Amino acid sequence: MLSGLIGRLSTVSMLKEGLDASSARARVIASRVANASDPGGFAVALDGAGQGGAAGVGQPVDLETEMVALADEQLRYQAMASLLQRVYAQVRASVRER
C-alpha cells in the first residue's frame, strides 16, 4: 500500500507542476492579447520609461491564433485539474480503508 501511495504522491507533484506551467503559459498568452488590444498601453509606457520588459511590442499579434492557443491551454489545465482531483480521491479512499 505504501508504494502505491508514494506513486500517487509523485503523480500529484507532477500534476501540480503541470498546472503551474499551464497557468504561466495562459498568463503569457493573455498578456500578448492585452498588448495587441491596447498598442499604446502599459507595455509601451514601460518601454518608453526605460523599464524594459515589453517583449513583442510593435510586433503584430494574430488574435485568432492567440485565442486558439488560450483555449488549448485552458483544456490542458482542466484535464490536469481533473486528473489531480481523481488522484486526491484515490488517496482519500486509501486512507479511509486503513
Place of cell 504522491: 9
**Phi and psi angles of residue 59, each rounded to the nearest 5 degrees, phi first:** -90, 140
* CB contact at 8 A, 78 and 27: no
Give the pLDDT confidence of 74-91 residue by residue, as tens digits.
999 999 999 999 998 988
Q: What is the mean pLDDT of residues 6-34?
A: 90
CA–CA gap between residue 2 and residue 27 (Å, rounded): 38
pTM of structure: 0.68
Q: What is the percent of the chain where pLDDT is above 70? A: 68
pLDDT reported for residue 51: 46
CA–CA gap between residue 8 and residue 14 (Å, rounded): 10
* CB contact at 8 A, 22 and 69: no
pLDDT reported for residue 90: 86
pLDDT reported for residue 53: 46
